[in-house]
Amino acid sequence: MFTFRNLASSLIALAAISTSIHPAQAQDAYPSKSIRVVVPFPAGGATDILTRGITEKLAMRLNQPVIVENKPGGGANIGAAFVAKSPADGYTMLMGSVGSHSIAQTYHKNPGYDFRKDLAPVSAAGTLGNAIFVAPDFPANNVADLVKLAKAKPGELTCGSSGTGGLIHLTCEMFKSQAGINVLHVPYKGTSLLIPDLLSGRVSITLDTIPPYLQLLKNGKVKVLAVTTKDRSPLLPDVPTIAESGYPGFDSLAVYGFFVPAGTPKPIIDKLNKEINAVLLDPELKSKLFELGIEIKGSTPEALQAVVDEQIKKWGNVIRQANIKPE
């Protein structure tokens, strides 16, 4: 016999079933709207170029717009903190600079986010190698010459960087420590301001990223003494590493990857990881970015997290040993 009590019981049961399947349905339908990818650096730089190259093809795979939004400033902390505080629904991602965000955890008392707790890794995206660049007439042609010169003139040579507390600065500090030399750090507000002083000899050396110097190398306007990565760079295959030049274990590499707010459902992270890694296998994209000095390669979320953990420990040690303080 039909009663209002039976009707009420049926409605309650239906509501329970609907509630239990709602999250799964939402994740199955993901993405149902546009996705925003925050780049914590200005437009036109290597990180921005890398992000736009990937997101253009990612949008086609996801059948939704993927919009790049630049939020520079604060040593990449402004953009990272913005994403860390965004809803954990998969619609806001960060193209993170692992080195910059790892350094911030020690260099800044309060960067506005905890890299390990507030952001979840999705996939690695690409890398940029660094190298020791000097003016053509600089009186050193290899790492041994450079170290000998620095030891003969303690405190007289200078190492230019794109800013205090950045990856270039800390790579210089790590080299100074391992080589046992005294070189003065000179910070600039970006590579574009550093390069003219390097070419003119006003600053002795820099351990900068490779892409801005490729054309200068071709034109004979700079010399390269060594690359900072553990393996030789495909961009400069004839240039030795610092590690093989007498400093085993030396390794500094700019790693970029996609991150989402902590708490983002695993099925969404898994889907993003799958599609991003598929894009990164695209031969046309690989070739296009390689010409600009960027090597692209994906990863699992776990592998990217391992890189984050290693970088936080590594650069934290460099900051403490060199007693580097925020400006």
The string of DSSP letters for 67-123 reads EEEE---GGGHHHHHHHHTS-SSSSEEEEEEHHHHHHHHHHSS--SS-HHHHEEEEE
What is the location of CATH 3.40.190.150 in the chain? 34-127+254-322
What is the location of CATH 3.40.190.10 in the chain? 129-245
Q: How many helices (H) and strands (E) does the chain have?
A: 12, 10
pLDDT of amino acid 28 = 66
Distance CA 207, CA 155 (A): 17
- Give the N- to C-terminal CA distance of the chain in Å, as an integer: 79
Distance CA 13, CA 15 (A): 5
Residue 266 amino acid letter? K
pLDDT of amino acid 14 = 46
pLDDT of amino acid 42 = 85
Nearest to 50 by CA among 297, 260, 251, 283: 297
Nearest to 308 by CA among 51, 97, 80, 88: 97
Judge contact between 191 and 100, C-beta under 8 A.
no
Note the pLDDT tens digit of each residue in 184-222: 999 988 888 899 999 999 999 999 989 889 999 999 999
Query: Is a pLDDT exceeding 70 seen at residue 10?
Result: no
Provide the pLDDT confidence category of residue 74 given band limits of 50, 70 and 90. Answer: confident
Q: CATH class for domain 34-127+254-322?
A: alpha beta
Phi, psi (degrees; rounded to nearest 5) at 259: -135, 155
Residue 258, token pair as written in the block: 């996609």
Query: Is a pLDDT exceeding 80 seen at residue 158?
Result: yes
Q: What is the DSSP-derived secondary structure letter of residue 277?
A: H
Fold of the CATH domain 129-245: D-Maltodextrin-Binding Protein; domain 2 (3.40.190)
Task: Report the percentage of the chain scoring pLDDT > 70.
Answer: 91
Residues 267, 272, 275, 278: what is their CA dihedral angle, to the nearest 10 degrees?
A: -110
Q: Which residues neighbour 120 within 8 Å (Cβ) at sequence distance 6 or greater?
A: 259, 260, 261, 262, 263, 264, 269, 301
Distance CA 215, CA 206 (A): 16
Phi, psi (degrees; rounded to nearest 5) at 300: -80, 160
